[in-house]
């Protein structure tokens, strides 16, 4: 029976999240309010089950579908709202639930003032609503903190894990659900005497639910979603700040990037180079500059057309970004010319780095019928070659032309690598 319960929990989570994803998918037609109404309509049931309904698991553990299935799914769906919309939209159901729970407690207080209670139910039944209303209010307050933590955490880890989106989503949900489980179970234990075995079972269940939700969200995002613009700002609060920060960072990153290759554009060359040279002088460490040219790139455009040429440039840009260190910077200098900054790298190390880069580009998988690419690279290093960006570029440019003059597909520096 415990293993049957596990299967039923999985089925319940899949059905719940899939149904809500369907509503979210149709938000531009039905309005996102439809999605939020459906999300909020099960909040009472979620809290009621978390307080009173538990199912058995293997090894004597137990958990509540309300907490593991409904709450974990809800948190994952709110993360989806933030990813596809912004923090301003994600705050709407949170404030709605908080207001609704406050109203519930206030309304139950008014009900207690009735002197003559008719019907089959007595006024004593309101004690359950007192407990449940308090639990719902506490849970919504935790949800408020959960969502702030979730947004900040996802912002922090999604960029370094951009090639591992499943891990980014799962880690975000797992960390926040762990925090929520500690806070929510403490109230369950005090108010309803829920045993610790249920707390451990609920925590493990939430970690597993986070993995399943992450897989479903990633599948949905890959297959169905397109970037949507968020609504205009109206209310200034912590979510507004998070939204502004997200948009500002995206705008800042976009303004610094070449639109074709997503590398830094030429306007970033001088300020970035000055900063790196200042750090080099302060720390007494070298800073190398690689001036890189794709050999005979004009023939790619002439033979295959500019769309293919653009695709090749994107492939080369991605390969250079992957091949270099995280502390290195690549700038698109011209049409098929690039500058790579390698702070802390000596001249000999820079020559080896350039050789590795040249060999890596020669092995790239390119569009059909495009011949393998070669690079000519000129290397200059501060402070021995020059102590300004213009000086380094002049030296590197001279060495780049020496590479081209010696037959291309070579690296030239102050000495052979």
The per-residue pLDDT for 125 is: 59
Angle at 339 between CA 296 and CA 384, to 5 degrees: 120
Q: Is 21 left (phi over 0), alpha (psi -120 to 50) or beta?
A: alpha
Instruction: Give the residue, 123 or 209, on which the prediction is more confident.
Output: 209
CA distance 379 to 233: 49
Fold of domain 261-412: Alpha-Beta Plaits (3.30.70)
pLDDT at residue 92 above 80? yes
β-strands 287-294, 329-332: how paired?
unpaired
**How much is the mean pLDDT over the chain?**
85
The per-residue pLDDT for 410 is: 94
Average pLDDT score over residue span 288-303: 94
The model carries a pTM of 0.56
Q: Read off the pLDDT of residues 333-377 as tens digits, 9 standing for 90 and up.
A: 988 999 999 999 999 999 999 999 999 999 998 999 899 999 999
Q: Read off the pLDDT of residues 114-149 as tens digits, 9 standing for 90 and up.
A: 765 555 544 455 666 666 777 777 888 888 888 889
Closest CA to 237 of 154, 150, 148: 148
Phi and psi at residue 338, in whole multiples of 5°? -135, 155
Domain assignments of the chain as residue spans, ordered by start: 2-254, 261-412
Handedness of CA 186, 187, 193, 197 (dihedral sign): negative
């Amino acid at each position: 029976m415990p293993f049957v319960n596990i299967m039923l929990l999985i089925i319940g989570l899949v059905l719940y999240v899939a149904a809500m994803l369907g509503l979210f998918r149709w938000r531009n037609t039905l309005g996102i309010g439809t999605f939020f109404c459906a999300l909020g309509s099960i909040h009472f049931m979620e809290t009621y089950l978390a307080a009173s309904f538990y199912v058995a698991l293997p090894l004597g553990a137990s958990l509540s579908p309300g907490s593991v299935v409904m709450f974990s799914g809800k948190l994952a769906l709110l993360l989806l709202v933030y990813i596809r919309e912004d923090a301003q939209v994600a705050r709407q159901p949170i404030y709605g639930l908080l207001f609704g729970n406050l109203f519930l407690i206030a309304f139950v207080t008014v009900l207690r003032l009735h002197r003559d209670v008719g019907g089959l139910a007595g006024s004593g039944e309101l004690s359950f609503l007192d407990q449940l209303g308090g639990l719902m209010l506490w849970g919504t307050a935790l949800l408020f903190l959960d969502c702030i933590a979730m947004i900040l955490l996802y912002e922090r880890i999604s960029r370094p894990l951009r090639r591992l989106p499943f891990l980014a989503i799962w880690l975000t949900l797992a960390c926040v659900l762990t925090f929520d489980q500690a806070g929510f179970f403490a109230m369950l234990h005090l108010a309803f005497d829920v045993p610790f075995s249920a707390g451990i079972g609920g925590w493990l269940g939430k970690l597993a639910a986070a993995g399943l939700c992450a897989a479903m969200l990633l599948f949905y995002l890959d297959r169905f979603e397109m970037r949507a613009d968020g609504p205009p700002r109206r209310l200034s609060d912590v979510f507004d700040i998070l939204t502004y920060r997200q948009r500002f960072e995206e705008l800042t990153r976009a303004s610094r990037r070449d639109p074709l290759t997503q590398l830094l554009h030429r306007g970033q060359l001088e300020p970035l180079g000055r900063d790196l040279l200042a750090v080099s002088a302060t720390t007494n460490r070298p800073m190398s500059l690689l001036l890189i040219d794709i050999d005979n790139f004009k023939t790619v455009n002439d033979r295959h057309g500019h769309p293919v040429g653009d695709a090749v440039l994107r492939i080369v840009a991605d390969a250079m970004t992957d091949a270099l260190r995280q502390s290195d910077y690549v700038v698109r200098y011209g049409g098929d010319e690039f500058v790579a900054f390698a702070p802390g790298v000596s001249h000999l190390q820079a020559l080896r780095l350039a050789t590795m880069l040249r060999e890596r580009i020669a092995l790239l998988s390119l569009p059909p019928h495009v011949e393998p690419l070669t690079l000519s690279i000129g290397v200059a290093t501060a402070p021995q070659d020059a102590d300004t960006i213009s000086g380094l570029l002049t030296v590197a440019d001279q060495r780049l032309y020496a590479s081209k003059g010696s037959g291309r597909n070579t690296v030239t520096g102050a000495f052979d690598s």
